[in-house]
Amino acid sequence: MKIVDARVIVTCPGRNLVTLKIETDDGIHGIGDATLNGRELAVVAYLEEHVAPALIGRDPSCIEDIWQFFYRGAYWRRGPVTMSAIGAVDMALWDIMGKAAGLPLYKLLGGKSRDRVMVYGHATGHDIEGCLEEVARHVEQGYRAVRVQCGIPGIASTYGVAKRAGERYEPADSSLPSENVWSTSKYLNHAPKLFQAVRERFGDDLHVLHDVHHRLTPIEAARLGKEVEPYHLFWLEDCVPAENQGAFRLIRQHTTTPLAVGEVFNSIHDCRELIESQSIDYIRATLTHAGGITHVRRIAALAELYHVRTGFHGPTDLSPVCMGAALHFDTWVPNFGIQEHMPHSEEIEEVFPHAYRFEDGHFTPGEAPGHGVDIDEGLAAKYPYRRASLPVNRLEDGTLWHW
C-alpha cells in the first residue's frame, strides 16, 4: 500500500477545526486532527508545505518510521505546531491501518482494558448557585464526574465561565485576543466555597474536578491544594504554569489533593521530570498536540511506572477526530484515569460522523475499523475559516499574566 494523497481540510462550523486526510492507492483513507486553537493556520502551513508532499509514495504501515522522519528528520524538534502536524499524520496512519486490518483501533493497540470510558463534563456558572444548577444538569445526564468553575466576586470575567447562563463556554471568543482581569487573592478566597457547596449539595460520591488554568505560583497552589483537601477533589488541574517542572515538588510536599497537568505539553520531555519525581497524578497531554498515538503511548508507559494515570484534554477545540482516537486509546491504556468531554455542537457532529457513543456518564469508541470518525468534506466546505484568538489575562494593575 502507498500514500497517494495528503491534504488539509479547514472548516469552521462554529469554531475552526483542521483535519489532515491521507489517501492510499488501494482506496483506504485515514484522517487526523491537527487543530491548534487560535493558531490553526500555522499548522496548516506546516502540513501543506513541509509534511504532505513528503508523505506521497510512503508505505502507511511504517507508522514508527514516518513518525521518526518528521520528528528527528525535521532537525527543529518539538513545539506545538510541529507536534500537532506530526500528531495528525500519526492519527491518520493508525486509522488507515485499522481499516486495512478490519479492526477498531483499540484492538490494534492491545485490546480492551475496560468496558467503557468514564468522562467528566463541565459545569460553569456566574456564581456558586449557577454552577450548582449546571452540576445538577450533568448529574441528571448521567455524568459521574464534573469539572466545576464559577465566577469570582469582583472580577468581571474569568476562565471557564460562559458569557451567559446556559451558553457553551468557548474561550476563543474574538478575532484578536480579548482581555480578562485576574486577582489571585480574590480567587483563592472564593474557590474553596464552591467545592464546599458542591459537596454539601451532591454528597461524597460525585467526582469533582477543577481547572486553575495556570494562574498561581507554587506556594499559592500549595495553599489552595491544602485548603480544599476536605472536599476530596478528583483533581486540581494546571495549578501553575509547568515550564518549571521542579516547581511541582513544592506543591506536592504540601498537599494530598491530586494534581493534573499537561494539556499544553507536546512531548515526553515536557513531563519526564514531573512523572519521575511522582509530583503529579494525572497526565493530560493529548494525541493531537503531543505527536499522536505513537508518542503519547510512550508518555503513558512512562507514567504507568510511577502510578500516574491518563486524563486526556478533550475540549471542543479538539475535533471529534481526536475524541474518537482518544476513546480508543482510553479503552486500551492500562493506566487510564478519566477523559475530558465537552460536547461538540450539532453542526460539528454533522461534519464529523462518528462511531463513538455517550451513555450513562461513559463513552464507548464503537467497533468501526480505525478510529471510527470521518469527515463530510462537502459539508465542511460550507463553513469557511474565521480567525479566532484565545484571551489574554492581566492582573488588576495591568501586568500581563498567565491565561
Ligand X SMILES: O=C(O)C(=O)C[C@H](O)[C@H](O)CO
One-character DSSP codes across 72-97: TTTSS--SHHHHHHHHHHHHHHHHHH
Comparing CB distances to ligand X, the nearer of 98 and 315 is: 315
Comparing CB distances to ligand X, the nearer of 93 and 287 is: 287
Site string for ligand X, 124-163 (x = CB under 6 A): ----------------------------------------
Out of ligand X, Mg ion, none, which partner does residue 340 contact, by CB within 5 to 8 A per kind? ligand X
Q: How far is CA 301 from the centre of its chain?
A: 19
Whether the CB-CB separation of 17 and 3 falls below 8 Å is answered with no
Residues 322-381 that bind ligand X (CB under 6 A): 340
CB of 289 to ligand X, least distance (A): 9
Residues 159-218 that bind ligand X (CB under 6 A): 171, 211, 213
Using the rule CB under 6 A, give the single segment among 45-53, 107-115, 245-253, 310-318 that binds ligand X. 310-318
Whether the CB-CB separation of 91 and 292 falls below 8 Å is answered with yes
Residue 231 has what DSSP assignment?
G
The reply on whether position 40 binds ligand X by CB under 6 A is no
Using the rule CB under 6 A, give the single segment among 11-19, 22-30, 313-321, 356-364 that binds ligand X. 313-321
Strand blocks (E) in 238-278 = 259-261
The grid cell for 386 is: 474565521
CB of 105 to Mg ion, least distance (A): 25
Comparing CB distances to ligand X, the nearer of 308 and 368 is: 308
CB of 341 to ligand X, least distance (A): 10
Out of ligand X, Mg ion, none, which partner does residue 15 contact, by CB within 5 to 8 A per kind? none
The reply on whether position 281 binds Mg ion by CB under 5 A is no
Whether the CB-CB separation of 354 and 324 falls below 8 Å is answered with yes
Out of 211, 281, 317, 330, point to the residue binding Mg ion (CB under 5 A). Answer: 211
Using the rule CB under 5 A, give the single segment among 97-105, 204-212, 250-258, 354-362 that binds Mg ion. 204-212
Whether the CB-CB separation of 275 and 260 falls below 8 Å is answered with no
Torsion of CA 374, 377, 380, 381, to 10 degrees: 170
Whether the CB-CB separation of 213 and 159 falls below 8 Å is answered with yes
The reply on whether position 90 binds ligand X by CB under 6 A is no
| 117-125 and 362-364 strand pairing | antiparallel
Whether the CB-CB separation of 63 and 96 falls below 8 Å is answered with no
Angle, CA of 289, 109 and 303, to the nearest 5°: 55
Kindly give, in sequence order, each residue whose CB lies less than 8 Å from that of residue 399, ignoring residues fewer than 6 positions away: none
Interface with Mg ion (CB under 5 A), residue total: 2
CB of 253 to Mg ion, least distance (A): 23
Q: How far apart are CA 298 and CA 314, in angstroms?
A: 19
User: Known catalytic residues?
Assistant: 159, 213
Out of 317, 333, 337, 388, point to the residue binding ligand X (CB under 6 A). Answer: 317
CB of 4 to ligand X, least distance (A): 33
Comparing CB distances to ligand X, the nearer of 281 and 340 is: 340
The residue to which cell 472564593 is assigned: 190
Out of Mg ion, ligand X, none, which partner does residue 116 contact, by CB within 5 to 8 A per kind? none
Strand blocks (E) in 245-332 = 259-261, 282-283, 309-312
**What are the CA-CA distances from residue 356 to residues 263, 324, 345, 362 (Å)?**
22, 6, 15, 10
The grid cell for 296 is: 503519547
Site string for Mg ion, 163-202 (x = CB under 5 A): ----------------------------------------
The residues of the shown chain that bind ligand X, judged by CB under 6 A, are 37, 171, 211, 213, 263, 313, 315, 317, 340, 390
